[in-house]
């Protein structure tokens, strides 16, 4: 049995191949790489009926994940998060079938852990000694914990006004934290310059090819939890866009593996009104997104003014028949509370953004009242400190 069927990397823009047994960032064309698997070989063992005895983590899908063997995996027990029905919240919105995939249950409290487990596994395997990562918040804490788990040094560049809990969790895991006066894009520019000067490996969203691989397991789990009956629509909060693009990749893989047919959920991307580069590009019919000049949202996971994988995000939204929509911060805070009161759900503001978008999507005709809708709650609200302090 082949543990992983990873056979190389492919440039998402030119289709050019690259080796997976060497460290890679962006392709020569400046585009992200996607991992490429021998799906025919993977299909022999990765079957829905063979999953029962497998580990209760995302590594149960090891044939389509990057790891040379089970001993090489850098894991803290990420994935296999619950899919929770929200019938009262659904009824209050005029919906029939609403479920929430609760990514707040991951080891450091966000879905970022899936990507970091995969990325750190390959970084360790390929001999990386020191990493650097720009982050708006949750990615830093996650990367710090997984780097510690892997025994790799790490520098984190984070906006000074990101939640204090995010700075603290990085330091607790032994990371060197630099507070940057600026947004995620400024952190990214500096990280690239430092990586170059110091010879460190950069773990930025999409610049590193395997974070997407970890995140795609959200879609595999959804298929498993719903016994192959994927929802009509997936509503996902979008910052850098990895979650959206990763799940879109996973659906193609799952079809090739024989897990699902050709039907796809509509991918609905939710951003903050104060930073909505993808929504603006979607509405303009553009294939790429211009950076957002002055991000005003306070919600860290949605403060990504520049979307490196803009073309991939817009393609996934359009090919799926989905849409993009922006909501104000105040509506997110309202739905943090509403999810708590009606269902006992602990949702972060980014997850609440998706709930807040539902009434608008219904009114616009982008969702039908009878449709099966899955909303992703991407993190626990417990790290947001002051931002949620007054919410009740």
Q: Tell me if 11 sits within 8 A of 192, measured CB to CB.
A: no
Q: Tell me if 201 sits within 8 A of 131, measured CB to CB.
A: yes
Three-class HEC string of 63-130: HHCCCCCHHHCCCCCCCCCCEEECHHHHHHHCCCEEEEEEHHHCCCCECHHHHHHHHHHHHHHCCCCE
The answer to whether 348 contacts ligand PLP (rule: CB under 6 A) is: yes
Q: Count Cα atoms within 13 angstroms, Cβ side, for 354.
A: 28
The answer to whether 57 contacts ligand PLP (rule: CB under 6 A) is: no
Closer to ligand PLP at the Cβ: 99 or 205? 205
Q: Which residues of 358-379 are buried (b: 16+ CB within 10 A; e: fewer)?
A: bbebbeeebbeeebbbbbbbbb
Which of 159, 240, 305, 322 contacts ligand PLP by CB under 6 A? 240
Which of 79, 140, 188, 243 contacts ligand PLP by CB under 6 A? 243
Q: Which stretch binds ligand PLP (CB under 6 A): 80-88, 182-190, 237-245, 260-268?
A: 237-245
The residues, any chain, with a CB within 8 Å of residue 127's CB and separated by 6 or more, are none
Question: Could you tell me the smallest distance in angstroms from the CB atom of residue 192 to ligand PLP?
Answer: 18
Q: List the interface residues with ligand PLP, window 106-165 (CB under 6 A).
A: 110, 112, 138-139
Q: What is the dihedral sign for C-alpha 359, 385, 207, 79?
A: negative
Q: Which stretch binds ligand PLP (CB under 6 A): 94-102, 167-175, 238-246, 271-279?
A: 238-246
Which of 107, 214, 239, 322 contacts ligand PLP by CB under 6 A? 239
Question: Could you tell me the smallest distance in angstroms from the CB atom of residue 388 to ligand PLP?
Answer: 13
Chain position carrying tokens 């991000």: 295
Closer to ligand PLP at the Cβ: 214 or 239? 239
Which of 81, 145, 320, 378 contacts ligand PLP by CB under 6 A? 378
The answer to whether 217 contacts ligand PLP (rule: CB under 6 A) is: no
Question: Could you tell me the smallest distance in angstroms from the CB atom of residue 69 to ligand PLP?
Answer: 28
Tokens read off for 373: 């809708």
Which of 57, 99, 205, 346 contacts ligand PLP by CB under 6 A? 205
Quote helix, strand, coil % in the chain, to nearest 5: 45, 15, 40
Chain position carrying tokens 């990615």: 139
Site string for ligand PLP, 13-52 (x = CB under 6 A): ----------------------------------------
Question: Could you tell me the smallest distance in angstroms from the CB atom of residue 330 to ligand PLP?
Answer: 18
Distances (CA, A) of 235 to 75, 98, 208, 255: 27, 11, 25, 21
Helix 242-257 with 217-225: angle, nearest 10 deg: 60
Q: What angle do CA 169, 350, 62 make, to 5 degrees?
A: 70
Closer to ligand PLP at the Cβ: 80 or 379? 379
Q: Based on C-alpha coordinates, what's the Rg of the chain?
A: 19
Site string for ligand PLP, 289-328 (x = CB under 6 A): ------------x---------------------------
Under the rule (CB under 6 A), what is the footprint of ligand PLP? 110, 112, 138-139, 205, 237-243, 301, 348, 350, 378-379
């Amino acid at each position: 049995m082949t543990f992983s069927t990873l056979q190389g990397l492919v440039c998402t823009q030119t289709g050019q191949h690259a080796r997976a047994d060497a460290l890679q960032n962006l392709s020569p064309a400046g585009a992200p790489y996607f991992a490429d698997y021998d799906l025919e070989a993977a299909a022999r063992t990765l079957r829905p009926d063979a999953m029962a005895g497998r580990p209760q983590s995302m590594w149960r899908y090891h044939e389509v994940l990057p790891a040379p063997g089970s001993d090489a995996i850098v894991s803290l027990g990420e994935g296999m998060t619950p899919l929770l029905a929200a019938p009262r919240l659904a009824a209050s919105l005029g919906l029939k079938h609403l479920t929430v995939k609760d990514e707040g249950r991951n080891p450091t409290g966000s879905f970022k852990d899936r990507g970091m487990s995969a990325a750190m596994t390959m970084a360790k395997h390929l001999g990386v000694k020191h990493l650097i990562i720009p982050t708006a918040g949750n990615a830093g804490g996650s990367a710090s914990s997984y780097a510690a788990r892997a025994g790799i040094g790490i520098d984190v560049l984070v906006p000074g006004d990101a939640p204090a809990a995010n700075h603290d969790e990085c330091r607790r895991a032994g990371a060197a934290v630099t507070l940057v006066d600026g947004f995620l894009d400024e952190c990214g520019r500096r990280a690239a310059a430092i990586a170059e000067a110091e010879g460190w490996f950069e773990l930025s969203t999409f610049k590193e090819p395997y974070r997407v691989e970890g995140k795609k397991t959200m879609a595999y789990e959804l298929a498993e939890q719903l016994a192959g009956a994927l929802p009509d629509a997936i509503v996902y909060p979008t910052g850098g866009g990895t979650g959206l693009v990763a799940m879109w990749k996973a659906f193609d893989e799952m079809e090739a593996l024989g897990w699902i047919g050709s039907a796809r959920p509509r991918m609905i991307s939710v951003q903050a009104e104060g930073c909505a580069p993808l929504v603006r590009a979607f509405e303009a019919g553009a294939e790429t997104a211009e950076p957002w000049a002055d991000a005003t949202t306070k919600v860290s996971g949605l403060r990504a003014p520049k979307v490196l994988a803009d073309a991939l995000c817009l393609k996934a939204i359009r090919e799926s028949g989905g849409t993009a929509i922006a909501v104000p911060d105040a509506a997110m805070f309202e739905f943090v509370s509403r999810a708590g009161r009606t269902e006992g759900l602990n949702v972060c503001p980014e997850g609440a953004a998706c709930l807040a978008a539902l009434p608008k999507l219904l009114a616009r005709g982008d969702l039908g009242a009878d449709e099966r809708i899955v909303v992703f709650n991407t993190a626990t609200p417990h790290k947001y400190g002051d931002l949620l302090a007054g919410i009740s």
